[in-house]
Amino acid sequence: MGASCQTWMGRWLRARKVLANLLLTRIRSHLLTWKHQRPQQFGFTPGKSTTDRILVLRVLVERRLIFAESLEVLVMALEALHEEAKPLGLKVFWLKTKVQAWELTVFFRKAQVRRMTAGFYSKVLSGGAAGAASSSATSYIPGLAPLASVQGNNNWNYVTQPQQHSLGNFVEKRATLPLARVVGGGSTMGGMVYTRGDHQDYDHWEALGNPGWDYNSILYYFRKAEDYMGSHLGETESYHGRGGPLAVSPDPSPGPLAAAFLRAGEELGYNTVDLNGPHHIGFARPHYNIRNGVRSSTAGAYLQPALPWSNLHILHSATVTKILFTGKKAVGVLFEYEGKTYQVTAEREVVVSAGAVATPQLLLLSGVGPEEQLQDHKINVVANLTGVGQNLQDHVGVYGLVWILPGTPAPFGPFFNTTAMHQYTRHRKGPFSAPPGECGTARVLVMDQGTHQSDVGIFLSPVSFHADRGLLTPYTYGMDRQTYKQYYGTVLGQAGFTLLVSLLRPKSRGTITLQSTDPKHHPLIDPQFLSHQDDIQTLVKGIQFAMKLGKTEALKTLGAQFHDEPVPGCIQKAEEAEAEAEEEYWRCFVQHMASSFWHPVGTCKMGPSNDPLAVVDNNLRVHGVENLRVVDASVMPTIVSGGTAAATVMIAEKAADAIKTDWGIDTSKD
């Protein structure tokens, strides 16, 4: 064997070993969780140190099929588990493990195919953030058999239509929308920041004709889903839950930059608050969906514990192409799997949880939507609902406000060093135990509109927008590469931080429409960013607040220097501008540099039947048809003033109760 071949083989083996070790880490974590939190369910008998090894294998192999792990990697991890299992009271024999893992893999693959044509009481379309939660929450009911289908390939790779009022420095004036295409949806790929939004967001939902969606009513579901991992919160403790499936943790390793951010807020007259408590204007350390240094997604929190249940079926890499109707009644779906088309029936109802882009696309392809659009595509009209695909909203903001920290080590220094790696691999501590994207957050009111609701979010990122020297950042966000180099060229690779400024309540509204009747073709996404002039003005005021924040003594003490270069397409330098010219410069900056924060919602609006844009009622049942429900972020009538992940899980929890209530199942003991 030649030297080059040996080198390649060595690298390949090392890569496989790394993957096996990563999977082993996850297995350890899950086994500990199962043993301590759900002993009887996973075969652990309290007071005894033995368990059913076949049951453990079954769960792990099913998990591999659902989460697309390599069988080879699984077997390597199980071999290593031989010694690791002893403290847990497990007996794992490597040879039998290999044989049984292979046999179980073949068995479950065949079983999945057999299940495809079976009837189900409930069909959940997508195992995203909401689909995972609602599937798990209803699957424990005896006799109920939900089926969740999940697409693969990690990312939808959506892009918007060219924008008229924004994205001046982005390729073709389009924004990227890398929405998750994995089990757990956005909770598996997102930034893990947990924010619910303002109480008044939900009170407004109820005021729009949706009884039961005011904050006092839905707080129960936020608390039910949450397992807060921090210490007692004092006055805000009653706003949080403990013991729920989804972990919520305070920042496990806040650094000096995060502390300086809070002090900067105090200089400007803002208190440090719990933004998931009663106060929604102020500065805060973020909460994360993290359990002991590991992401807590709805896939792990809801679906994994439910895998042994015989009445929950998950099909990975299946693409739902159409909802089937008999008259106005949803009776099943068509889906593609491994190159073949299958039909599955739903005895009670179909639940769509495909997200704010794919859900309206699926409804339209199935004949539910604006009659004129359906007829243009020669689709048989089942229900003329003009609101399907309308009311698209997203958090829009500016990523590129950068401050340099001269004399500070390389921007990834706190992360890429042996000490940090040792801390994380051994103890799940240190910088790797929290996401690098945000270490401070603030909600402020910059426009005097007679309201006490915050309208701008300020997010502190300890990793500056230019830190990777342009290797990934411009591609991730869709920014023109030459523009990126021109604007950040003098500071590429230097240490610093970024202040991101986001609209919390955008007034602009966009649309999702069909490109064709082929489900594989992405729909046309036109968010119409900044089409409402108030959005531009609010962002300008938000940037001016961020600039004031950057000049506080707390941040100046760190040596922070604003990267004051004119953004391509705009002339004036911000620091040198007169007041009127400065505002005009920032307006130009916003229209060239603002983009999506990847939180699309609202395209299947919840509202009463007399609302021309309403698609679902307050129990999330689709108007004008029977046995069809939507459970995801698309039902939000208006976007919440925080990340949409927490609200989406709440929606799924509430929907699960609504489904059980409609079916005559008591929810009082849940």
Query: Looking at the annotation, which residues are catalytic?
Result: 599
Distance CA 193, CA 181 (A): 19
Helix (H, G, I), strand (E, B) or coil at 560: coil
Q: Which of 558, 217, 569, 186 lies closest to 406 in space, CA to CA?
A: 558
Query: Taking Cα atoms as reference points, which of 647, 641, 600 lies closest to residue 176?
Result: 600
- The answer to whether the CB of 597 falls within 8 A of the CB of 502 is yes
Task: Say how many C-beta atoms besides its own lie within 10 A of residue 292's C-beta.
Answer: 16
Helix (H) or strand (E) segment spanning residue 335:
strand 329-337
Residue with tokens 């729920």: 244
> Cα(93)–Cα(498) distance, rounded to whole angstroms?
51
Assess contact for 641 and 454: CB atoms under 8 A: yes
Dihedral angle computed from the Cα positions of residues 532, 538, 541 and 546, in that order, rounded to the nearest 10 degrees:
-120
DSSP H or E segment with residue 330: strand 329-337
- Phi then psi for residue 423, to 5 deg, are -55, -40
Distance CA 123, CA 313 (A): 10
Classify burial at 301, counting beta carbons within 10 Å of its beta carbon; exposed 0-12, middle 13-18, buried 19 or more.
buried
- Distance from C-alpha of 669 to C-alpha of 633, rounded to nearest angstrom: 27
Q: Are 590 and 353 in contact (CB under 8 A)?
A: no
Measure the CA–CA gap between 185 and 123, rounded to whole angstroms: 17
Nearest to 536 by CA among 163, 162, 161: 163
Q: Which of 265, 204, 206, 272 is nearest to 236 (CA)?
A: 272
Q: What does the alpha-carbon distance between residue 223 and residue 627 come to, in Å, rounded to a whole number?
A: 29
The answer to whether 463 touches 405, Cβ cutoff 8 Å, is no
Pairing relation of β-strands 511-513 and 294-295? unpaired
CA 629 – CA 612 distance, rounded (Å): 18
Query: How many Å apart are CA 129 and CA 125, to the nearest integer?
Result: 12
Count the neighbouring beta carbons within 10 Å of the beta carbon of residue 565.
15
Report, in angstroms and rounded to the nearest whole number, the Rg of the chain calculated over CA atoms: 25
- SS3 for 277? coil
Alpha-carbon torsion (196, 595, 133, 60), positive or negative: negative
CA dist 361 and 591 (Å) reads 29
Question: What's the rounded Cα separation, in Å, for the pair 276 and 196?
Answer: 6
The C-alpha atoms of residue 618 and residue 20 are separated, in whole angstroms, by 46
Q: Cβ of 35: how many Cβ atoms within 10 Å?
A: 17
Helices (H), 159-277: 186-189, 199-207, 215-225, 256-267
State the angle between helix axes of 71-84 and 3-37 in degrees (0 to 180), rounded to the nearest 10: 60
